[in-house]
Amino acid sequence: MNTSRSQGFTLIELLVVIAIIGILSSVVLTSLGTARNKANDAAVQSSLNSLRSAGELYYSTNQNYGSNTTAAGCSGTNTFLADASGNAPAIIADVQKKSSGVTCNVPAGGMTWYVYAKLPSDATKSFCVDSTGAARQIATPTSAPATGCPAS
């Protein structure tokens, strides 16, 4: 009796293995995209928290926070925290690289301010910091709040 068999895999077995590898790789790639967005959210939040410190340093030197009407992108005739050190403009530029929308506001008199930026993972949510020390996630406003970060 001849019981020799050819060693190897059948075509079906190979196709099943390739399909399983494809499914697993798509799950991993999806997870990596979510992790990347959450990392960008954390970077935006960290940068905006640094902006609070820069604001207080600016205030201690100038006794105000500069002048700026509400400005999307924190641009225009913006002297918001604009000093020789350039800390605040550099922080805002860093946030703008990661967020699809950044808004600064310094009401008349320059005694208060707030900045909010859309979170990369969800444009309906923003992170807001202000001169009162507030730092919180908010629903992205449809129009700029009159003062500080809204409580939401």
Rounded to an integer, what distance in angstroms lies between the CA atom of residue 115 and that of residue 106? 9
Q: What is the pLDDT of residues 68-103, one digit of tens each?
A: 655 555 765 556 776 656 677 788 888 888 888 888
Rounded to an integer, what distance in angstroms lies between the CA atom of residue 103 and that of residue 118? 9
Q: Give first-to-last CA distance, the chain, whole Å.
A: 81
Q: Which residues does 137 contact at the CB level (< 8 Å), separation at least 6?
A: 119, 125, 126, 127, 128
What residue ranges do the domains of the chain occupy? 11-139
Tokens representing 121 are 């993972």
Rounded to an integer, what distance in angstroms lies between the CA atom of residue 99 and that of residue 117? 6
Q: What is the pLDDT of residues 39-77, one digit of tens each?
A: 999 999 999 998 888 888 888 888 888 776 555 557 655
Give pTM, 2 decimals: 0.74
How many Cβ atoms from other residues are within 10 Å of residue 119's Cβ?
25
Q: How confident is the model at residue 124 (pLDDT cuts 50, 70, 90)?
A: very high
Q: What is the DSSP letter of 81?
A: T
